[in-house]
Structure 1
Amino acid sequence: MRRLPTLSALLPALVLAATALAALPSAALDVKPVTVARGLQNPWGLAFLPDGRMLVTERPGRLRIVERDGTLGAPLAGLPPVVASGQGGLLDVVLDPKFADNRLVYWSYSEPATDGNGNSTAVARGRLDGNRLADVQVIFRQQPKVASSHHFGSRLVFAPDGRLFVTLGDRFSRKDDAQTLDNHHGKVVRIEPDGRVPADNPFVGRAGALPEIWSYGHRNIQGAAIHPTTGALWTTEHGPQGGDELNLTEAGKNYGWPVITYGRNYGTGTRIGEGTERADVVAPLRHWVPTSIAPSGMAFVTSDRYPEWKGSVLIGALRAQALVRLSLDGHRVTGEERLLTNLNARIRDVRQGPDGWIYLLTDSPDGQIVRLQR
């Protein structure tokens, strides 16, 4: 697979076969998973308040404050209606970069159509006022709405310039939409904090294209993080049967789905689309074949608490029930290690806390917040 011409010189460093990755020296024995809180029903997203408390979403439609000692607060009032079905529900949560001044919280969720016919991913924001969200506004709605309970995507990431990235799934039944620019299915969008379109978005002014779109050709992105040095957006994407991806997700680029992919059709294992390479499609930095790991939340390690992990990216894996650590040399993935496999837990989100510790969410009816201590 070749990158777009502007990045073609980087191809040898960016595309690695699974067999070429080095096994990393294990640091797992030095890490102790400590349960901070439990009793959360399928938690999905985690954000840290300035005072060390945590905001946690539960997929059935609840947003709670979790105290530093792990006590679960009552669900916050003020959320709009949520479709909690299949993979849908209340999903990610982030704080406004200026939260200390404006108290704004952003969350993504599956929103029902007003006529009851279909749903889509939406993003709302509200001002945290005690145990409620005030002045709630919906700032983005994925279009069109469809009747589906799958592939909502839905990570939220603020870039260093204050713009908000929103990852959006292809809704499963509309996978071909990921290759066209007149819809939000299988896309990453970039918006201002109030929902307006940034003037420098790549498709602004292009006939037939939605101006919110940042990148396209995605299947179902459930992990996203900003690189701490470059400020670039990195994402993890679910493939079908194999073909999960780690991508450097750049403006205006096509990431291939469902025409160019390493994934295979469920059950039969037959090829999807044209193959695994095309000149105008961006290659993944890492892909997983033949077995999916089902990647979800991710975080770059910058903390001095884990000197041997510093500079790595950590990815939560649902199907693999592991924390995947990838070592990096610039954009090049140099090795992989699978940690915490003895937890027997689907890891939904990964965050580096303000205290420097790594925190995980486990996806189960009795979901936990887990801190990795040394």
Structure 2
Amino acid sequence: MKNFTINFFQAIRNFVNQQFIAKRQTKSLIKLVLACVSLTSVAAEQAVYQLKTVITGIDVPWGMVQFDNGDFLVSEREGELYFVEMSKGKKTKVKGLPDISSSGQGGLLDLELHPDYRKNGWIYFSYSSSEGKGWGSNTAIMRARLKDHTLVDKELLYKALPNSVGGRHFGSRIEFDRAGYLYFSIGDRGDRDTNPQNISLDGGKIYRLHDDGRIPEDNPFVKNEKAKAAIFSYGHRNPQGMEMNPSTGVIWTHEHGPRGGDEVNIVEKGKNYGWPVVSFGINYSGSKFTELTEKKGMEQPVWYWVPSIAPSGMTFVTGDKYPQLSGHLLVGSLKFNYIVLCQLDGNKVTSQQILFEGVGRVRNVKQMPDGFIYIATENNKIVKVIPKKT
């Protein structure tokens, strides 16, 4: 009965989404969408899972990785990196960070370990940097090794240019695929009419590099002298979620829309994802910036949200610790303070459920090497999702 109810209201939600996008006329439609979404909330998860706070005192924990011994490395957006000894509950600030321009949505952002970290020790991170041409800052990707709580062997792999004084849309998530390629996202930096559709400019793109920063010879625009050779796909707004689907090896992302139109996408080589030519959203003022929700030559999202949930962080759930969630996708919501379970059938999202309402503004959600799901929120905590014994 519960699944029937969820699917029934999801069908209503999808219908209302389409009507709202087609007409964009009344506030009552928005309220109806919100009501339908709230009815998909699964109150029963509190009886199945326990949320245990395991790390505190990090203001906006943006990126997080876990080492083999269970210890964590956590980035704080304001520009601090913490090594957390989980057995002792002790946080130590990591030294040796590059100069970080922390303003607006910028700062120290995502973290990722090299797939062969045990052998080479490489840690990858994204941040906003003022280096290079122009005033302000833009997104940079660096790798380094950790020694005695200090970053050493630092190598700048990519720096988006030009810098911008705008404080919006830096991206930025980092992920590796099975072949060892490094993917990362950079948002449109708030300049939607210039950056996303222009492959000669940084911003509004997904990028692909070798792990040492070299440009892969088979990148889609590598032979275009006017293009940024690191670009893998374009037409994105502000992707703050990126994860490899472990069942297919394909990279998935999600990105913020404006007022409506948050998207989940499967990233494909050389494809155009449409922003801002096509969108399921409108301006924050309520006015329209496009009449189009689809166009030939531009990709359609796997899933979208109207109204926006402000997605951040995503993870595919595997293994047997969470049988109700395994094989599906979790997405964090900054706006609504919950986790969205996107139920998958192959490469399709068939429905959604709302989990862990009230957990806080979710900045990141990841299933770590120990098999547990961790949720980082903007109210100074990281919580561990523990299945209750039945």
Q: Normalised by the size of structure 1, how large is the TM-score?
A: 0.91
Return the alpha-carbon distance in structure 1 between the equivalents of residues 263 and 56 of structure 2. 30
**1:315-330 mapped onto 2 (5 Å cutoff):** 315-330=331-346
Query: Secondary structure at 1:265's aligned position in 2?
Result: coil
Decide whether the 8 Å contact of 2:71 with 2:86 is kept in 1.
Answer: yes
Corresponding residue to 1:222 among 237, 240, 251: 240
Indicate the residue corresponding to 2:377 in structure 1. Answer: 362
Correspondence 1:348 to 2:363: yes
Task: In structure 1, give the amino acid aligned to 2:199.
Answer: L
Structural mapping, 1:51-200, within 5 Å: 51-69=69-87, 71-113=89-131, 117-200=135-218
Structure-2 separation of matches of 1:116 and 1:208: 20
What is the Cα deviation at residue 232 of structure 1? 0.5
Code of the aligned partner of 2:376: L
1:242-263 C-alpha deviation (Å, 9 max, x unpaired)? 1100001111000010111111
Distance verdict in 2 for CA 1:165–1:114, change over 3 Å:
closer
Contact kept, 8 Å, 1:314 with 1:324, in 2: the verdict is yes
**Offset at residue 342 of structure 1 (A):** 2.7
Q: Which runs of 5+ in 2 are unaligned?
A: 1-10, 16-36
SS of structure 2 residue aligned to 1:278:
coil
User: How far apart, CA to CA, are the structure 2 residues paired with 1:294 and 1:325?
Assistant: 15
Q: Distance in 2 between matches of 1:314 and 1:159?
A: 19
AA aligned to 1:285 is: V
Q: In the alignment, which of 269, 278, 289 is matched to residue 272 of structure 1?
A: 289
Tell me, what secondary structure is at the counterpart of 1:179?
coil
SS of the equivalent of 2:92 reads: coil
Higher relative contact order, structure no. (Cα contacts within 8 Å, ≥ 6 residues apart): 1
Q: Could you tell me which amino acid in structure 2 is paired with residue 104 of structure 1? A: W
Structure 2 counterpart SS, 1:342: coil
Residue 347 (structure 2) aligns with: 331
Once the two structures are superposed, the pairs formed by residues 230-249 of structure 1 within 5 Å of their partners are: 230-249=248-267
Structure 1 unaligned regions, length at least 5: 1-15
**Cα deviation 1:71-97 (Å, max 9, x = unaligned):** 242211111000111100000001111
CA contact (8 A) 2:84 2:92 kept: no
CA contact (8 A) 1:178 1:187 kept: yes
The residue matched to 2:195 in structure 1 has which SS?
helix
Whole-Å Cα distance in 2 between the matches of residues 175 and 136 of structure 1? Answer: 35
Question: For 1:296 and 1:70, how far apart are their aligned partners in 2?
Answer: 29
8 Å Cα contact 1:240-1:264 kept in structure 2 = yes
Give the whole-Å Cα distance in 2 for the aligned partners of 1:313 and 1:161: 22
Once residues 269 and 44 of structure 2 are traced to their aligned partners in structure 1, the CA distance between those partners, rounded to angstroms, is: 36
- Cα deviations by residue, 1:304-325 (Å, 9 ceiling, x for unpaired): 1110111110001101111010
2:344 alignment partner AA: L
Amino acid across the alignment from 1:356: G
Q: 2: distance between equivalents of 1:354 and 1:194?
A: 24
> For the residues of structure 2 that align with 1:280 and 1:49, how far apart are their CA atoms?
42
Match of 2:320 among 304, 329, 336: 304
Whether 1:262 aligns to 2:275 is: no
Report sequence identity in percent.
42
Q: 1:49 aligns with which of 67, 73, 76?
A: 67
2:303 maps to 286
Deviation at 1:141, TM superposition (A): 0.5
Letter of the structure 2 residue corresponding to residue 351 of structure 1:
K
Describe the SS at the equivalent of 1:100. Answer: helix
TM-superposed deviation, 1:19: 2.2
Q: What do the CA deviations read for 1:282-307 (whole angstroms, capped 9, x no partner)? A: 00011111x11000100000021110
Runs of 4+ aligned structure 1 residues displaced above 6 Å come to none
Q: Distance in 1 between matches of 2:168 and 2:79?
A: 16
**8 Å contact kept, 2:41–2:355:** no
Secondary structure at the aligned position of 1:292 is classed as: coil
Displacement after TM superposition at 1:274 (Å): 4.1
RMSD of aligned residue pairs (Cα, Å): 1.8
Q: Secondary structure at the match of 2:375?
A: strand
Contact 1:36 / 1:69 at 8 angstroms: preserved in 2? no
Q: Contact 1:175–1:185 at 8 Å: present in 2 too?
A: no
Distance 1:250 1:114, change over 3 A: closer
TM-score, structure 2 normalization = 0.87
